[in-house]
Amino acid sequence: MTTDQFSVAGQTVIVTGSSSGIGRSIVERFAEDGANVVVTSRSQENIEPVADAINDRASDESEDGEESDYGRAIAVECDVTDREAVEALREATIEAFGPVDVLVNNAGASFVADFGDISPNGWKTIVDINLHGTYHCTQVVGEGMREADGGRIINMASVAGQRGSTGMSHYGAAKAAVINFTTSLATNWAEDGIRVNCIAPGLVATEGVRSQMGIDEDEGGIDRTEADRRIGRPEEIADATQFLASPASSYLNGETITVKGVPRLDE
């Protein structure tokens, strides 16, 4: 059985919010499959080690002076709420690797609070990062895709945007908007050869989720073969992302894939 349809080798991929957690797993997975990746977040000191590790791995994979099949990486600092920074991110990507084939809008932020305790600034901050950041990156990078041969845009939402979540009204509202935006844009840009899809993760064992939700489950102890588990691993979101970025998902457009387990019966 061939698996070539799942390959992203040779593609140029931007993954926002990729200094840690789900974003880092995505850039590492794509590079391992041969894609050139742009690691980006608001802190240069956080993204450089991720890009360096990928490039070191690519060098290690080389044998007898031959070019490695492993992808390369660059680190570009970018605040996705800053339009000029997003434009600079696009230019840096094109200069390093050429036109962008895949954009993964992964940058996000949240905090837990009762609705009555959310300040106007707190509400605006969460909406700016999760929704407006997705808008800026999609419009800036997507314009190049429209002028070329198309591309794939993958937006990261959340189950909180599908059914709500206690103490997460601001975050859920922003992610619900991302889901609707995905469906609408897929219809608008389909004729340009651009597929736009979305992933709605459930609880995933990242440092941010652990600290925010008070989850102390050990990521290393999570068994990917078990269905009845409460929390997943970042690599499992990377699996779904690679699928949506690859030719294997060619007949999927405007959809949101929910990636979550189920609560254990004893919880």
Could you read off the pLDDT of 169-192 as tens digits, one per residue? 999 999 999 999 999 999 999 999
Q: What is the pLDDT of residue 59?
A: 87
Asked if the model's pLDDT at residue 64 lies above 80, the reply is no
Q: Which one from 70, 135, 171, 251 is the annotated catalytic residue?
A: 171
Q: Examine the pLDDT at 121 and tell me if it is beyond 90.
A: yes
User: What's the rounded mean pLDDT across residues 17-36?
Assistant: 97
- In the DSSP assignment, the letter for residue 132 is I
Taking a C-beta distance cutoff of 8 angstroms, is the pair 126, 171 a contact?
yes
Residues 242-266, mean pLDDT to the nearest whole number:
89
171 catalytic, yes or no? yes
pLDDT for 217 beyond 90: no
Q: Which residues contact 1 (CB under 8 A, 6 or more apart)?
A: none
Percent with pLDDT over 90 in the chain: 80
CATH of domain 4-259: 3.40.50.720
Separation CA 88–CA 110 (nearest Å)? 26
Is residue 267 over pLDDT 50? no
> pTM value?
0.92
Query: Tell me, what's the pLDDT at 211?
Result: 56
Average pLDDT of the chain to the nearest whole number: 91
Over residues 140-165, the pLDDT tens digits come to 999 999 999 899 999 999 999 999 88
Q: What is the pLDDT of residue 206?
A: 79
- Long-range (24+ apart) CB contacts under 8 A made by 171-175 are 171/110, 171/111, 171/126, 171/130, 173/127, 174/126, 174/127, 174/130, 174/131, 175/130, 175/200
Residue linked to tokens 């305790």: 117
Model pLDDT, residue 209: 58
Q: Where do runs of H (alpha helix) occur along 190-233?
A: 207-213
Length of the chain in terms of residues written: 267
b/e code 150-177 from CB counts within 10 Å (16+ = b): bbbbbbbbbbbbbeebebbbbbbbbbbb
Q: Determine the average pLDDT of the residues in 91-110.
A: 97
Amino acid at 35: A
pLDDT for position 68? 75
- Kindly state the average pLDDT of the residues 47-56: 97
Shortest CA distance to 93 belongs to which of 108, 103, 83? 103
Helix (H) or strand (E) holding 40: strand 36-40
Is the pLDDT assigned to residue 123 strictly greater than 60? Answer: yes
Least confident of 31-45, 57-71, 90-104, 195-209: 57-71
Compute the distance between CA of residue 11 and CA of residue 2 in angstroms, rounded to an integer: 19
- The reported pLDDT for the residue numbered 249 is 98
Closest CA to 101 of 66, 144, 133, 70: 144
